[in-house]
Chain A
Amino acid sequence: MNETHPSIERIVDYLYRELPPEDDAAVHAHLASCRSCDERRAEELSLTELLRAHANATERELPLRVVAGIRSAVEHPPQSLWERLNAALRPIVLVPVAAAVAVALYIGYDAWHRAAVPTAIDAGYYVNSHAVMAAAAPFGDAAPPMVLTSDNESR
């Protein structure tokens, strides 16, 4: 800073009230006694006034649709990504899953049903069939264990 005249930056800081109190007082006192510096201050002030006048002239009202949009957004918040994905995939996932569950239930029930109700075997048929098979293949798997008659007799 020039010792006698404040710099333009200092004058601008003064206009914005950004100087510390003691500096502000010093610049204020200088401007009161220095015509050239006061003219620079007035020039800077006129630039600020021009900007404000321009802002006032071009000021816009907040569109009502913006307010409506804000209210709508807070009243009906958008779904999260997961929620949207879930909603989109639900029919794609649920239909095959439901079908698979139905098939599994059907098969499971059928299997359970078969296991739970043992097949009734007619004893007469079994004996007859077994006897026929044993006679046809005495040494086959279906044949009864071989028991020697002499063994029974010796006991």
Chain B
Amino acid sequence: MDQRAFLEHAIEQYGKATYNFAFRLTRNEADAADLTQEAFIRVYRAWQSFKPGTSFLSWIYRIVTNLHRDELRRRKGRFFQEEIPEQAVQPIEEYVDAQLSEPVSRALADLAPGQRTIVELADIDGCSYQEIGQIVGCSVGTVRSRLHRARGQLRKLVKEYMKLTS
């Protein structure tokens, strides 16, 4: 497989997942599009460094995470500062099941960005603790403790918002 074929295959197989991951990180379509585009350009340039047999998704998610961090640093001059402007949150009418999604969406938005990413990687993307550690750049032990703390908070918040919704 040549470089261009590798890229096309990657876009076809993982483009949507990567874009959704970028959107969950940024909660903004324009930024998600930019991150996804830049990530695949990096994949194209560094295609020979990908080791067959390893998880491509983990690799590209790590690229997206690093690009996002760099962008946050560039914009705010601080590391891991990720406050989402209210207007960037998607309108509620986009949810297929608003009753179900709204409390979850609000609860996720209340989590610290680092915790939210770990929960989403574990529950939505089905990544292992080790893969999450590689993507976000921390140890398996840190992933486990952050995940448990995040789930505890999420459980409480979802219950609260479900009561409010009902």
> What residues make up the interface of A, taking CB atoms closer than 8 Å to B?
8-9, 12-13, 16, 18, 43-44, 47-48, 50-63, 65-67, 69-70, 73-74
Contact = CB atoms under 8 A, between A and B. Distances in A.
B105 A59 contact: no
Q: Which 9 A-B pairs have the closest CB atoms?
A: A54-B104, A57-B96, A55-B124, A51-B123, A62-B15, A62-B19, A70-B40, A69-B37, A54-B101
Given A53-B97, A55-B120, A57-B101, A65 B33 contact: yes
Nearest to B140: A18
Contacts, number: 96
Contacts of A59: 16, 20
B100 A57 contact: yes
Nearest to A13: B144
Contacts of A66: 15, 19, 33, 36-37
B95 interface: yes
12 contacts: A8-B148, A47-B155, A47-B158, A52-B124, A54-B104, A55-B124, A59-B16, A62-B36, A66-B37, A70-B37, A74-B4, A74-B41
Interface of B: 4, 7, 11, 15-16, 18-20, 23, 29, 33, 36-37, 40-41, 44, 90, 94-97, 100-101, 104-105, 108, 119-120, 122-124, 128-129, 144, 147-148, 151-152, 154-155, 158
Residues of B contacting A: mostly = helix
B148 A12 contact: yes
A63 B33 contact: yes
B119 A51 contact: yes
B103 to A, nearest CB: 8
B29 to A, nearest CB: 8
B95 A58 contact: yes
Contacts of B148: 8-9, 12
Contacts of B29: 60, 63
B23 A51 contact: no
